[in-house]
Every structure is written in C-alpha cells, then in structure tokens.
Amino acid sequence: MDTPPLIRLERCPAPAKLNLFLHVVGRRADGYHLLQTAFRMLDWGDSLTFALRADGAVHRTTEVAGVPEKQDLVVRAGRLLQQASGCRHGADIAIDKRLPMGGGLGGGSSDAATTLIALNRLWGTGLSRAALAKLGLQLGADVPFFIFGRDAFAEGVGEELQPLTLPPAWYVVVAPPVLVPTAEIFRAEELTRDTGPIRITDFAASTTRNDLQAVACNRYPEVGAAIEWLAQFAPARMTGSGACVFAEVGSEMEAKDIVEKCPAPMRAWKAKSLARHPLSDWLD
Ligand SMILES: C[C@@](CO)(OP(=O)(O)O)[C@H](O)COP(=O)(O)OP(=O)(O)OC[C@H]1O[C@@H](n2ccc(N)nc2=O)[C@H](O)[C@@H]1O
Ligand SMILES: Nc1ncnc2c1ncn2[C@@H]1O[C@H](COP(=O)(O)OP(=O)(O)O)[C@@H](O)[C@H]1O
C-alpha cells in the first residue's frame, strides 16, 4: 500500500538550550561578538504543530505574547525555506510556548530550527542538515546548534560546531522576574571581550565562566539575586545573555526539591539533558 502524503506533523518538540559557559573572545568587523560556548540541549521546551496549506501562505495560528505574527521566527523560517527551495506549499503553525522568552534558553531559535526541520519534511524539500543550518544562521546564531542536534562546543558566533559528549545530568533552571535584552549586554562598555581562547577539552566549570553574567548582574540585580538563591544548593551560573540561571544537581529528586522551594516571583523548572534532538531522524 502507498504511504499517504504528509499533511500534518503534530507536537514537534523545540527543546531549550543552556550555555554551560560563554566566553567572548573577540569581535567581528560588523560588530558581532566572537564566542566560545558549550551548548547543552534540555529535555524541556516548546512544542509545535504544522499543517500543510495548498495556497503557499505561512501562518502562525496561535498568539505569542509580544511577538507579532510576521516577526515570529517560525513564520520567517517557513518563508526562508520557501525562498531557498522554490517550494509552493504553505503551512499553518501552532506554537505551544512553554519557555520563558528572552531567557537565554534559545526558545525562539529552537522554534525556528524545529520549523525548518519539520517543514523540510512536510514539504519534501529535501535540504540537508548542513543546508538547513546555513539557512537557520540567517534567523539567529543559536539556530544552527539546534539543527546540529546534539551537545556542542561552538565558536564563531555559535555556528562553528563540534560534537561534545557529556554525561547525562539534571538541572534546575530559574527565571528571575526580569527581561535582559541581548543587544544591551553585548553593547555594554564594561563587557570583557578578550577572554583567551580555550580548547574543547578545557571547559570544566572550574576554568570557565559566562562573560555576559557580570554585565547582566550589574544592570539587572534580579539576575544576581537568582544566582545567589540557587547557589545555596549547587554552583549556579547564567545561561546565554540571561535572564535565566541554572545549576547542575545530582538527581531528579534533588531538582524537584529545589524547584518546590523557589520563592515567587522567581520561577523554577527541573530539566534533564537531552543527547539528541528529537527530530534528528528527519535529517540526513
Ligand atoms: C547570547 C546567545 C548565546 O547562545 O544566546 P541567547 O542569550 O540569545 O539565548 C546568542 O549568541 C545570541 O545570538 P542571537 O540570538 O543571534 O542574538 P540576537 O538576540 O539576535 O542579538 C541581538 C544583538 O546582540 C548583538 N550580538 C549578538 C550575538 C553576538 N554573538 N554578538 C553580538 O554582538 C548584536 O548587536 C545583535 O544585533
Ligand atoms: N517563536 C518565538 N519564540 C520566542 N521568541 C521569539 C519568537 N519569534 C521571535 N521571537 C523574538 O526573539 C526574542 C528572543 O527570544 P528567545 O529565543 O526566547 O530568547 P533568548 O534568545 O534570550 O534565548 C524574543 O524577545 C522575541 O522578540
């Protein structure tokens, strides 16, 4: 019997990421900062559903607070894939948003990566993982990592990726009640921009830091307060440009205990590391 054509892809995961460390090692001629970072994927994130449209339109069918449909990275990802492939299909995209926005967890980038991977399948456009990662970089520096699909040591602006093999781990992620604009942190005069490069083998927590953390804590004391609270239980650090902070803990039970103690208005979640992107099998 013939396989029926795909018309819908239900509940496709868009996992969060942590930056286990983040060093600013230089600056490109266009002002973008050169980084070294370790990306870790988490088994916690948004979820997206895609339905085929015959009229070529790409629509978001759910509201995302503060993000107009046209600017949503999922809509932009769909249109970019159409342009790159010449595809005439369209899609309705529903997002079940769980990740705090602008939290340094890469939610928007992960939504975009999931859209590129899922629509590449739904539309049968057949782009390779490498081609999708290149397209994704136009949407955000974290998108190639999610398409790469596993923990990674990253350089450049985050697009030069090498696989990292890390033991499974449990994390507590805490969101302070504040939004930290990425651009403001990278623009800050006081940002350290000359951390010496390290080798992939040297990124154990003791020898690394997040260079963006001092700037974020200085300008947004809520971030420092969240680190201080979480550090009672385990070494805590900011992810990306914040505002979220995280700590590795010994077990799910320990994570659960800490999450239950988290005082409002901070919010906390437990999350496990994820070895492979759940949609990896749809690539290559
Ligand atoms: C910091 C990181 C670490 O993973 O993650 P998040 O905190 O956003 O999750 C990323 O590098 C975020 O990359 P990306 O998602 O592309 O950043 P955007 O929000 O588009 O960047 C906003 C602005 O910050 C500056 N910027 C960003 C990235 C970079 N490597 N150098 C920069 O100077 C640029 O001025 C840019 O216009
Ligand atoms: N689908 C989306 N989900 C989240 N943010 C989005 C989305 N589309 C566009 N954005 C924009 O991207 C910005 C960064 O969001 P996000 O990726 O969640 O944070 P971060 O880059 O700090 O990890 C948001 O403030 C929002 O304006």
At 206 the pLDDT is: 57
pLDDT > 70 fraction of the chain, expressed in percent and rounded:
98
Reading the block at residue 68, the tokens are 């107009």
Confidence (pTM): 0.96
Which domains can be identified in the chain, with CATH numbers? 8-164 (3.30.230.10), 170-272 (3.30.70.890)
Nearest CA to ligand 1 atom 3: 240
Which residues have a Cβ under 8 Å from the Cβ of 187 and sit 6 or more positions away? none
Residue carrying structure tokens 């030069």:
160
Q: What is the pLDDT of residues 235-273, one digit of tens each?
A: 999 999 999 999 999 999 999 999 999 999 999 999 999
Please check the confidence at residue 2 and state whether its pLDDT lies above 80: no
At 205 the pLDDT is: 58
Residues with CB under 6 A from ligand 1: 19, 22, 31-33, 35, 37, 104, 106, 109, 140-142, 157-158, 182-183, 186, 240-241
Hey, which residues does 156 pair with through a beta bridge?
none
Ligand 2 midpoint to CA 250 (Å): 30
Task: Count other Cβ atoms within 10 Å, centred on residue 160.
Answer: 14
At 1 the pLDDT is: 57
Burial of 19 (0-12, 13-18, 19+ CB in 10 A): buried
Reading the block at residue 131, the tokens are 């081609």
Please check the confidence at residue 109 and state whether its pLDDT lies above 90: yes
> Which ligand minimizes its atom distance to the CA of 143?
1
Task: Count other Cβ atoms within 10 Å, centred on residue 190.
Answer: 8
Please check the confidence at residue 170 and state whether its pLDDT lies above 60: yes
CB 217 within 8 A of CB 227: yes
Please check the confidence at residue 72 and state whether its pLDDT lies above 90: yes
The average confidence (pLDDT) of the chain is 96
Please check the confidence at residue 284 and state whether its pLDDT lies above 90: no
Q: What is the pLDDT of residues 26-49, one digit of tens each?
A: 999 999 999 999 999 999 999 999
Hey, which residues does 116 pair with through a beta bridge?
none
HEC string of 47-75 equals: EEEEEEECCCCEEECCCCCCCCHHHCHHH
Please check the confidence at residue 140 and state whether its pLDDT lies above 80: yes
- One-letter amino acid at 198 equals I
Q: Which atom of ligand 1 is nearest to the CA of 39?
A: 4
Nearest CA to ligand 1 atom 26: 32
CB 109 within 8 A of CB 73: yes
- Give, in degrees to the nearest 5, the angle at Cα 74 between 139 and 274: 85
The response to whether 110 counts as a known ligand-binding position is yes
At 41 the pLDDT is: 98
Hey, which residues does 94 pair with through a beta bridge?
49
Residue carrying structure tokens 């992960």:
110
Q: What is the pLDDT of residues 202-211, one digit of tens each?
A: 776 558 999 9
Q: What is the pLDDT of residues 188-201, one digit of tens each?
A: 999 999 999 998 88
The response to whether 41 counts as a known ligand-binding position is no
Reading the block at residue 37, the tokens are 């970072």
